[in-house]
Amino acid sequence: MQLKISNFFGFIGLGFFFFTSCDDRPKLMDTPTSGLITVLVDETYKPLMDSEKMVFEAQYPDAKINVVYKPALDILDQMDNDSFRAYFTAAPVDSNLLRGFYERKKYFPKSIFIAKDAIALIANNQKKGLKISVDEFAKICRGEITDYSQVKGCKHSGKITLVFDNAKSSTVQYIQDSVLKGGLISNKTFALQSNPDVMDYVTKNNGALGVIGANWISDNADIETLKFTQSIYTVEVGEGENPAYFYTPHPGYIATHMYPMRRLMTVTLKENGAALGRGFVNFITGDIGQKIVLKSGIVPAKAITRVVETRNKL
């Protein structure tokens, strides 16, 4: 009888070995509202994600979201890194990367739309009133326009110094893919390290034209944003070569597609089950999280509605 029992438990142990060894997916030890995870976020979304993390952790004290900020190209290199549960990026992750992930891990990460975003152009306050068409901006990026006097209707003159946040950033990717249609940015432009670096450079240099994410200049309640917005000017941008109208990256103009340099913010969730990553993403795409998105100056994926009660008489 003892032999049979030991054989039985040996069989169970062997089965457990095969079950665990054949499944290389990370075992999720957290819940949608508790635990500790690390997420990788495009640096251009730092003001927004700092707010989302703060409110989520205040609402769920047992949850801890460790946020790592990186340029866009560095994020894509980390797709197979199990240390990161989710990736917040300025565009959906390429389907080839997702297919390759499935072949190795045997499940597909889920991509979720979070917000409509935009690229903003900023200039020194001495350039107030500056308006640039997308075609003119493309020529600036290619090095064909080098002086403000070459911009139609511009009352200013002086050398244009085009400054980006980071050579690996999503803003650089967007300009090359969407503005230059696959072309390359002139090697006469400058790439710093971050969006705040660009804003600081523009405040100190009269000829600078900075390229940053819209949420860095749109949240009037953010201390870091307020520090810069008083000394920089948000350039108005028009569609095409000879636009009749020019717009700033205001949420209303982004939502109605009147502001031309738009993009999407998405999250790619590597979680095959309901755990903390899912809970955090559900929060961001829920009512509270989407209100935070709107407050940050970009457009929520879900429309924010308000019920207004009217009366026939005062």
pLDDT tens sequence across 239-289: 988 899 999 999 999 999 999 999 999 999 988 888 999 999 999 999 999
C-alpha 96/C-alpha 213 separation (Å) is 26
Q: What is the pLDDT of residue 94?
A: 77
* Torsion of the alpha carbons at 293, 294, 297 and 301, rounded to the nearest 10: 70
pLDDT given at position 290: 97
Question: Do residues 194 and 58 both lie within one domain?
Answer: no
- The answer to whether 112 touches 267, Cβ cutoff 8 Å, is yes
**218, 272: one domain:** no
| Predicted local confidence at residue 227, as pLDDT | 63
Output the average pLDDT for the chain: 85
Q: For residue 238, give its domain range.
A: 117-262
Q: Is 310 contained in some domain?
A: no
User: Does residue 48 register a pLDDT over 60?
Assistant: yes
User: Regarding beta strands 262-269 and 232-234, do their DSSP bridges make them parallel or antiparallel, or are they unpaired?
Assistant: unpaired
Q: Domain for residue 167, yes or no?
A: yes
Q: Is 185 within the bounds of a domain? A: yes
Residues 121 and 179 placed together within one structural domain of the fold: yes
Query: What's the CATH code of the domain at 251?
Result: 3.40.190.10
Closest to 154 measured CA to CA, from 139, 132, 138, 135: 132
- Distance of alpha carbon 126 from the chain centroid: 29
Residues 233 and 150 occupy one common structural domain:
yes
Predicted pLDDT of residue 71: 93
2: pLDDT strictly greater than 50: no
Q: Are both 294 and 232 inside the same structural domain?
A: no
- pLDDT, residue 8, reads 35
Are 279 and 255 part of one and the same domain? Answer: no
Q: CA-CA distance, 33 to 278, in Å (whole number)?
A: 9
Query: How many folded domains does the chain comprise?
Result: 2
More reliable by pLDDT, 20 or 264 = 264
pLDDT digits (tens, 9 = 90+) for 193-250: 999 999 999 999 999 999 999 988 876 555 565 566 678 999 999 998 889 999 999 9
Q: Is 122 found in the same domain as 94?
A: no
Cα atoms in the Cβ-side hemisphere of radius 13 Å centred on 171: 29
User: Bigger pLDDT: 99 or 252?
Assistant: 252
pLDDT score, position 223: 59
Please indicate, yes or no, if residue 305 is contained in any of the structural domains: no
Comparing 9 with 304, which gets the higher pLDDT? 304
The answer to whether residue 38 sits within a structural domain is: yes
Q: For residue 192, is pLDDT > 60? A: yes
Residue 292 has pLDDT above 70, yes or no: yes
Q: What is the mean pLDDT of residues 291-310?
A: 76
| Residue 143 and residue 73 share a domain | no
Residues 232, 126, single domain; the answer is: yes
Gyration radius of the chain's alpha carbons: 24
Distance between CA atoms of residues 126 and 246, nearest Å = 19
**Has residue 78 got a pLDDT over 50?**
yes
Residue 103 CB neighbour total at 10 angstroms: 8
194 and 135 in a common domain: yes
Instruction: Looking at the structure, tell me whether residues 190 and 236 fall in a common domain.
Output: yes
Q: What is the dihedral of CA 81, 82, 86, 90, to 10 degrees?
A: 10
CA 280 – CA 63 distance, rounded (Å): 9
Query: What confidence score (pLDDT) does residue 304 get?
Result: 61
Report yes or no on 3 lying in a domain.
no
**pTM of the predicted structure, to 2 decimals:** 0.83
Last residue of a domain, one of 216, 243, 262: 262
Asked if the structure places residue 109 within a domain, the reply is yes
The reply to whether 272 falls in a domain is yes
Report pLDDT for 98.
76
Count how many residues are written for the chain: 314
Q: Which residue has the higher pLDDT, 99 or 19?
A: 99
Same domain assignment for residues 270 and 226: no
**Beta strand residue intervals within 159-292, DSSP E:** 161-164, 190-191, 208-213, 232-234, 236-238, 262-269
